Amino acid sequence: MTAALKRSRPRYSSTDSTTSGLLSWHEVPVWQQDNEYIVSGYRPTSGSVRMSIASLASWNNQTVNSYSHLIGAAIFAVLPFYYYAFIFVEENNALAMDLVVMCVYCYGVTTCFIFSAMFHTLWNHSDRYARLYNKLDYLGVLVLMWGAGIPTIFYGFLCDNALRSMYCMVTTSTAMFCTYLTLSPQFASPRFRRWRACFFAGYGLSSMMFVMHGLLLYGWEIQKTRMSLSFAGWVAVFNLIGAAIYATRIPERWCAYSFDIIGASHQIFHMTVIVAAWIHFRGIVEAFSAVRATPSTCHN
């Protein structure tokens, strides 16, 4: 297996440059060399925000990455208005907090996608910009994870204000700590890479704590709807598929040049994240509809 993968690694030559002004892997600086299996389609270092943004008008190996999350951000930016106009107002028992938690989620996703699009668009500006917006890209992931947890806690502990407040504070404080690690220059060095990965993984897994607690208190029949657990399973499936494709760099590692512009693993990962975010939105809608169907949910 290892030998086969080594043989599939693309070889670079001085003729890889294209007449379109794009560069090949070996022609760009090290800070742009993220995936050795993406051989061509690299933009020259721009040193200009305007020029980097202008590159969105032409095809390069970041075009799909930028547009996929720009479009995703636009969709989730308007989803709260759709939710209010067609779902929220139809429930007589709806509360203002139902709209608040939906906005927290949708604009958490929007923030994540905007930061991601900014990173991929401005990546070729300079090494300093690449490092800065890479941090913002990670920060956006944290905001999405935090925003996704708030509605789950809100509906999962609908009848226990103390537990709901406690878990909201726990997930918020943990997200803030991970934000500090993400933005701190001290923890940006490679020697802290494992620690950063552990904290991110720990924050992602921390949601299991309040999910398990909710199941112990109220059981599967109630929490499968309030915590959208059936939807959460599909969210996990799409996120894991996307992460696996991203980590293994499939399909570009199999066919050099074929997926440099369209179809690379990072682009597929973006699509699976968008699908997972939409599924989670549908889960929140189901939870809202279930708990607001009657005025006395907590007394049933």
Known binding-site positions for Zn(2+): 120, 266, 270
Cβ(36)–Cβ(10) under 8 Å?
A: yes
C-alpha–C-alpha distance, residues 111 and 26, integer Å: 33
Query: CA–CA distance from 7 to each of 15, 105, 280 (Å)?
Result: 20, 44, 40
Torsion sign over Cα 118, 119, 122, 126:
positive
C-alpha–C-alpha distance, residues 164 and 145, integer Å: 17
Angle at alpha carbon of residue 76, lines to 124 and 93, rounded to 5°: 160
- By C-alpha distance, which of 256, 262, 280 is closest to 38? 256
Q: Which residues are annotated as a binding site?
A: 120, 266, 270
Q: Show the tokens assigned to 191.
A: 């020697």
